[in-house]
Structure formats: structure tokens, C-alpha cells
Structure 1
Amino acid sequence: MFFDRGNHYEFLSLVQELAAPGELQHPRTFTFNFKNVEKQYESYNGINVKLRYFIRVTVSRRIADIVREKDIWVYSYKMPPDNNSPIKMDVGIEDCLHIEFEYSKSKYHLKDVIVGRIYFLLVRLKIKHMELSIIRRETTGSPPNQYNESETLVRFEIMDGSPSRGETIPIRLFLGGFDLTPTFRDVNKKYSTRYYLSLVLIDEDARRYFKQSEITLYRQPPELPPVPGAAALPPQQPMPPHTQKEGGDAEALDSEPEPNPAAHEQQQVPAAA
């Protein structure tokens, strides 16, 4: 924990003695083997926390010991979830903007494709452009000593210019090119890492309106082939009449700045064709 640098928390420790006390005068090779070690957590290097596995060799001497360490990076694989429902939301600003957006699913593997669409029901706001961001939020510690850090990993422009009523904007974002980790929840009761899709609209006065939706990321075993058509959305269906009323019962868009975006870590992605 970087905010608690004086303390290190061990969750796994195994020791083997490689040689009995004596003199070591010439180069020697010692073999070792730790069998069937359960590594329950994935390695992680975050903003305020680092989880590492390493091998440490210690040569004990009467004077200062000789200590060498070698890190091992551990991945944790999960099978695709059986239940993977889409994310759908109806949002807007009263009498100004009313949109429906949909993502094809809520759980993605790290090489997956985010597929979705945005449908404009009411447009009375002069929109300059619209973008989709991926935000990573890291929570460390526990109350009252809990720390939250957010960083914007990707900014993906999906629209340039003001849309028309009834227009549909497609979304297609490939995750394979970004530095992402799986979602972590309450790892060793020390930290959590969550991911959010943030739909952001910027008007001509540079005001930002956004709505965040949490997604779950997981690391898929490399031998698994992709599921054909798994990311596809069904064909666009006509909106039911009750959703097309102007300024309907849409959930309000937030207009405050996005929480703690790390500008130096943003990655600009060109607009989709």
C-alpha cells in the first residue's frame, strides 16, 4: 500500500532451506521446487497498491546477509459468465435532451469489443461532440482511512457535431489495445479496482454532461476461441411510443466534471467510421 509504505502485508509465504550451514567458496547451483502453490490473486501494480509474487534468496552471514529477489507475474483466468445482460439506460436533461443508450453486455474479457448504440429522442441542446471514456477506479484501505483514485484510460470520440432527432450513433470499441486489468473486488480485504464506461457530451459552451455505467472485466483463458456473434446487438427496433415523448421520464445526466480524470494517462482514439 503506497500510502502505508512502512507496512507490507503477506498473504502467502513458503520457505525452503537449500544448504546447511557451512562455507561457500566456489559457484554452486541449488535446485528448489514449490509444488502446487495456490496463487489466489492476480499480480497488480496500481496507483496506491502493488500486489506482487517474488522469490527471495537469502545467504545468511555473520555480517550483513546477501538478499536477492526476482518477481513473478501471475495471471488469474476466468471462464466466460453464463449470464451477461446488456446495459440499457434512458437519460436526459429536462426539455433539452433525451437519449437512450445500450451496450451489448455488461461483462467483457480483456480482448473483447464493446458494441453499443445511442438513440436521440429529443435534441434541443447544441452538442459539439460526444465521447466514450473508460475509467478505472481504485479503492484502497477501509473507512475511515479509505482512498479512492480514478484515472481515465481511454477517450473514444463517437460523434462530432450536433445530432438530429431520431438519429442512431453506433459504438464499437476494441479493448485489446489498452492496458487493462480484470475487475478486482475486495482483494485480501485491502483494495478493489472497478471499471466504468462514461458517456460524455460536450456542448458549444464546453459544458460536459456524462453518465457512468459499471462494467466487469475478466481475463479469459487464452485457449478459448471467441464466441461467434457474442458482441453483436440485435437489429435496431422502433422505439415504443411511450419513450418518444419529449423530455420523458429519463434519468438525469450529470453535469459536474468527471471524478479525478488523470489527464496525463489519457489516450486519444480516432472517431469510429
Structure 2
Amino acid sequence: MKNILGNLGLATTASVQLTFKRGDGQPLKTATLKTKGGEPEQLPLFSSKETICAEVKVANSPGKKVDHYGIKVQLLGQIELASERGHPQDFLSLVRDLAPQGDLVKQETYPAEFANVEMQYDSHRGIQVRLRYLLRVTISRSYANSVVKDFPFWVRNYEAAPAPVPNAAPIKMEVGIEDCLHIEFEYDKAKYHLKDTVVGKIYFLLVRIKLKHMEVEIRRRETTGAGTHARNETETLAKYEIMDGAPVRGESIPIRLFLSPYDLTPTFSNVHNRFSVKYYLNLVLVDEEDRRYFKQQEIQLFRLLDDKAAANGTAEAAHISS
């Protein structure tokens, strides 16, 4: 049976290679990411409205020919929830035909271009949701399985800094336990870019319990679904100790927290009616009996437009094979 299938061409396959390029001829930027195993991974980096160019090389097995019903490349944007693993939803789909029906008897090279593509959402890899972009090359075949290869890339979008609000008051909150503890804390603002610094102060107005230490956490909350079907996943990205020892009434503790060392993304609100990503500063106080007291404040994060030129290194071209 194996020999019969080979004679019919069912065992004949084709290899596909793809090289990303920028439409403006500038060096191709790359984004360095971490895989689930913690290993670094580099992907081509683009922003919305940029032109994505690619060079597709398709080759047959030596001495074999591959008959096909056409070769095409698609640019896809997909959202995949953990609860729907293996069934992503396409929110962006563009296609370019590379070759009509025919026979592949030698290596062929095809240029492809997607001009001024609107990619309004940032790429995202979270606990329960993934938003990704990719180029998919398909060699359609009649009597054998079509050859389909995916080549992912990363998208980051940037915002201008918000206009300063004259005489804007800092954000103030209070936390306390009646007749035992009363704390007032403030942050200088509610919106930060990813390389910003959080500046604030903690005021101890009443201290009648023995505190051991205090820390600020950066928390990320990922929400999928809505209403009664909403599902939240929260992860603590960083812990920063701001006090060690017992404070006294009237004491003031400064906060200065640099955001750049941490793996943060912009705040995402109701992306394609599928998911949201929010960030919180969580104040944690621990007493001598290891009881913990919490107070959290939501902050908005954005990627500053001025950081676009320094986006994670450059390369002439990113080459991916499969």
C-alpha cells in the first residue's frame, strides 16, 4: 500500500519558508518574548498601519513534483480562549494568491505584501487568552492533505502621552481597622507608561497594632466573558517592600516604584468583546501575627509613542522555516 500511495503522489510533500520584511525598506524590528518554558523567543515586530512584506519560498521533494490547486498566503488575527483551545476566532483575515493551479517541479519564490494593515489590538499571551497575528501559507491539494504552515509575528501599538491636567490632585485612599489602624496613601497619578515610575506616600494616622512590614504588589487581572459567565485570573507580577519594622503615628513612608523591570503590557479594555486586562497596585500590610491587610488601586498602563524607536532591537530580516 505504501508503494501505491507513493506512486499516486500522496506521500509527496512540499517545504515552505518565509522571510518577513518591512514595506518601507527599514531594518526589521524584533520582539523578544518568553515561551512557556521560560526560553527567549524572537518574533518580527510590527505596528498598526505598517506594510508587511514577505518572501515565500516553496520547494518540492527532490525528484518529485507536487500538483496543487493554488498557493496562497493569509494574514490572520486570532483570539483564542483557554476554554476554547484549538478553536480560535478570527478578527482579521486578508488573503493574497501567490500561484494558480499547477505543478511544483522546482523551488519557487513568491513576493507577498499587505499594505497599511490596521491591527488595532496588541498581541497578547496571557493565562487564559491569546491574541496573535500570523501569516499562513497554504498549498491546496486535491487528493492529499493541503500543506499549511503558520509564521507568527508580534504587534505593538503606541500612544502619545496624555495631556497634563492643570492642578490635578493626586489619588488618595484610606484603609483602616476601627480604633486600631488608620492609613492614608496617595499616588501621583492613575495612568502610567510602561517605563514610568510610580511615586507616592503612605501616612500613618493611627497605629495601635504591631505591624511587621509593608509591601506594594503589581497585579494583573485577566477577564474573559461577561456577566455571570465572566472569569477572572489574577497574577502577582512584582512585590516591592517599602517598610520593614513597626511604624509610629504621624510617620510618612515614600513610595518610588520603577515599572520598566517588569513584564507589563498596556491595559486592554474589552478587546473585540472577548477579554480585558487590568493592572492594580496592591498595598499589603503584615502584622506580627502574620495577619495581612490589603488595599488595591487600579492603574492604567500604556505604551509611550516615544518608545517606538527603541523597540527591542533590529535585524535586517527575520527568517522562519518549517
Q: Fold-level match, TM-score > 0.5?
A: yes
**Change over 3 Å in CA distance of 1:224–1:49 after alignment to 2:** closer
| Higher percent of residues as strand | 2
Q: Pick from 176, 190, 195 the counterpart of residue 111 of structure 1.
A: 195
- In the TM superposition, residue 60 of structure 1 has moved relative to its aligned partner by 1.2
Counterpart code for 1:76: N
Is 2:248 the partner of 1:164? yes
Identity of aligned residues (%): 56
Structure 2 portions without partners, runs of 5+? 1-80, 310-322
Give the structure-1-normalised TM-score. 0.79
What residue number does 1:38 align with?
Answer: 118
Conserved in 1, the CA contact under 8 Å of 2:174 and 2:182?
yes
- In the TM superposition, residue 211 of structure 1 has moved relative to its aligned partner by 0.5
Structure 1 portions without partners, runs of 5+? 226-273
Give aligned pairs, total: 225
Aligned with 1:79: secondary structure? coil
Conserved in 1, the CA contact under 8 Å of 2:158 and 2:308?
no
Conserved in 1, the CA contact under 8 Å of 2:217 and 2:237?
yes
What residue number does 2:269 align with?
Answer: 185
* Cα RMSD after superposing both structures: 1.5
CA distance in 2, matches of 1:43, 1:35: 19
Q: How does 1:49-198 map to 2 (within 5 A)?
A: 49-62=129-142, 63-82=144-163, 86-198=170-282
Give the structure-2-normalised TM-score. 0.68
Aligned with 1:3: secondary structure? helix
What residue number does 1:19 align with?
Answer: 99
Counterpart code for 1:174: F
CA distance in 1, matches of 2:107, 2:124: 35
- In the TM superposition, residue 204 of structure 1 has moved relative to its aligned partner by 0.5
Counterpart code for 2:186: E
**Change over 3 Å in CA distance of 1:223–1:144 after alignment to 2:** closer
CA distance in 1, matches of 2:174, 2:233: 28
CA distance in 2, matches of 1:28, 1:114: 54
Larger radius of gyration: 2
CA distance in 2, matches of 1:189, 1:10: 13
Counterpart code for 2:101: P
**Change over 3 Å in CA distance of 1:224–1:146 after alignment to 2:** closer
CA distance in 1, matches of 2:226, 2:86: 17
Between 1:113-122 and 1:79-88, the stretch displaced more is 79-88
Is 2:288 the partner of 1:208? no
Aligned with 1:37: secondary structure? coil
Conserved in 1, the CA contact under 8 Å of 2:161 and 2:305?
no
CA distance in 1, matches of 2:107, 2:240: 55
Aligned with 1:50: secondary structure? strand
**Change over 3 Å in CA distance of 1:22–1:38 after alignment to 2:** same
